[in-house]
Amino acid sequence: MKIYQVDAFTDKVFTGNPAAIVPLEKWLSVNVMQQIASENNLSETAFFVKEKDGSFKIRWFTPKTEVDLCGHATLASAHILFSELGFDEDQIRFKSNSGLLRVVRREGLYWMDFPSNSPETIPIPKLLPEALGTIPIYAGVNTDLLVLVQDEELLEKMKPDLLILKKMEVRGVIVTAPSKSEGIDFVSRFFAPAIGVPEDPVTGSAHTVLTPFWSKRLGKKNMVARQVSTRGGIIYCEQKGDRVELGGHAVTYLMGTISI
């Protein structure tokens, strides 16, 4: 099998979020796909198979489990189809456990069309201030727990207690703040120790929650976000009713072959 490694939400290697991409002729067993993802030891490995109608069925695995949605590995998969595998149509359609996802190339970016996942406001969980080292301004939940803190500097310096976060009954914890940088609307970090990802470098799926949250808060439909992990990355966000569009660059780092 061919395997590719792509740095997503960036235009240069060694930044953004790396994902492994494995195009398949037919599906492997879940156990084998999970073993490949564990061997890759990246936050996500994506597998896809072409369907008879020209779309692609896509599945995503962390080193520990399968997940229903992953933005950066979808972006990376589209990049491989467009740049390495000769896909020459305007739009890629991915069928997933989260429904139909579309990716187009526009204005030098890959744009992904995802469901909008507005968070539901909840009381701040009891152990959250201890886990983050600060008292949050806001907490909301969708698939993930969304937490708003005071400013970007506090977010950048944060060293959360991952053992406490792992006990939260959510996939992951998104921590966000307003940006202090010109041209950037908001910043975030994403922690998901419960699914084997202590901190994800750049998280597309988290921005399906962040986009409607900040769109309402800022009164804007189009925004630019930065994930302030060590590697970092830029996500272009557009709120479109019950959908969000997320745009970004991607670059191929590795091409190889898996033998099992």
Active-site positions? 44
214, two tokens: 């900040």
Q: Do residues 32 and 55 make contact, with C-beta atoms less than 8 angstroms apart?
A: no
For 151-232, list the strands marked E by DSSP: 173-178, 186-192, 197-200, 222-227
Instruction: Report the distance separating Cα 181 and Cα 196, nearest Å.
Output: 31
Instruction: Report the distance separating Cα 240 and Cα 253, nearest Å.
Output: 32
Q: How would you class 170 by CB atoms within 10 Å of its CB: exposed for 0-12, middle for 13-18, buried for 19 or more? A: middle
Q: Do residues 174 and 190 make contact, with C-beta atoms less than 8 angstroms apart?
A: yes
